[in-house]
Amino acid sequence: MKTLDELLKEGVNGRRVLVRADLNVPLDGKNITDDGRIRAVAPTVKALAEAGARVVVCSHLGRPKGEPDPAFSLAPVAQRLGEVLGREVAFATDTVGTDAENKAVAQGDGDVLLLENLRFNKGETSKDDTQRAEFAGQLAAFGDVYVDDAFGAVHRKHASVYDVAQILPHYAGWLIAKEVEVLSKLTGKPEQPYVVILGGAKVSDKLAVIDNLLDKVDTLIVGGGMMFTFLAAQGYEVGSSLLEKDQVETCRSYLARAAELGVELLLPVDTTTAAEFAADAEPLTVGVDAIPADRMGLDIGPESAKLFADRIAAAKTVFWNGPMGVFEFPDYAAGTKTVAQALVDSEAFSVVGGGDSAAAVRTLGLPEDGFGHISTGGGASLEYLEGKTLPGLDALEN
């Protein structure tokens, strides 16, 4: 695929560049609680602006229903993007309407404009190719060329991700180029020992990545809510913990397959439990063979955390996706923090697979530069590791 470096060499002074960014940041009202995705795309936007391009940035935020919803406005993002860039960012109160058109026409060389939420338009996410292409045509009118730097959206066949690239000359931004470079190392021939750590709530969300990576890893570590379905597959009672009964047999088959392959599938040996799902619930740590019927596991226990950290310390390559527990609750954050700190302390090439894992790193106050790479796309990074064709990347490569 062509990259931003090639576009900059061609020259962009005075040219209109439509940039698809992933500015889908968490908001508390109008306050941004984590600006990681804004900072991740800023180098691409800044390089284009400094080279004299007339930059029009577009992004989604949340899941509005195809029509304007003030709760999902990108207005706060425009302000923060401007602060990160160190230059004014104009904001259009619509996406492809009169305000966007007028502000785009008024742009000078080096100016940056952010359009309102793409998903305020039904055409963005439509399954109808014609409706999606029509909206893509309206978007494409804002650019002479298109740069996609929204890795967190490349697994979506959306108008701004897939269809615009069919219309305009297209390039991968620096963030996408980096993501692809890093993730391809994990699916190619990673340096051994290779350890994959999977957490999060549901095992069903991770089945395909387990299936694709099981014969490539030395150790597969399972924590988070998904661990209880694996423990049930081993015959343990899991109390009122999160359990996907319809996946127990699948987990049992993975345990058997791992044994056949000589792969260590490492599960927790203890868990920190609560009587209810609440931040102030009294924690009780028990062995996984002694979970009370009326309690739920909300974190891996300290022995498990030490066991996982030891495997990380011995690894040369590590991929981590999904917290080890409910890290938002202070009493149930220790497992996630121990695993994350082990990655910081490790000399391995470490990749954090976006989403909740990236949020945990920031919430727990760990240094982002302590990791080899923090992906901006949880779902996209998982689907890449599953071996799927991602529409956004496919569009850039053609």
pLDDT in tens, 145-167: 999 999 999 999 999 999 999 99
Characterise 195 by phi-psi region: left (phi > 0), alpha (psi -120 to 50), beta (else): beta
Low-confidence stretches of the chain (pLDDT beneath 50): none
pTM of the model: 0.87
Task: Read off the pLDDT of residues 30-45 as tens digits, 9 standing for 90 and up.
Answer: 899 889 899 999 999 9
Residue 37 marked as a ligand binder: yes
The DSSP secondary-structure symbol of 71 reads: G
Residue 299's SS3 state is strand
Task: Given the residues 335, 355, 377, 378, select the one marked as catalytic.
Answer: 355
Residue 61 marked as a ligand binder: yes
Q: Known catalytic residue: 362?
A: no
pLDDT of residue 366: 86
Task: Read off the pLDDT of residues 216-273 as tens digits, 9 standing for 90 and up.
Answer: 999 999 999 999 999 999 999 999 999 999 999 999 999 999 999 999 999 999 999 9
pLDDT of residue 320: 94
Residue 287 marked as a ligand binder: no
Task: Given the residues 39, 87, 185, 202, select the one marked as catalytic.
Answer: 202
Residue 206 marked as a ligand binder: yes
CA angle in degrees (0–180, nearest 5) for 393-155-341: 100
Single-letter code of the amino acid located at 302: P
Q: Known catalytic residue: 157?
A: no
Residue 328 marked as a ligand binder: yes
Task: Given the residues 2, 372, 379, 388, select the one marked as catalytic.
Answer: 379
Task: Given the residues 15, 16, 37, 54, select the one marked as catalytic.
Answer: 37
Cα 297 from chain centre: 25
Residue 387 marked as a ligand binder: no
Q: Known catalytic residue: 37?
A: yes
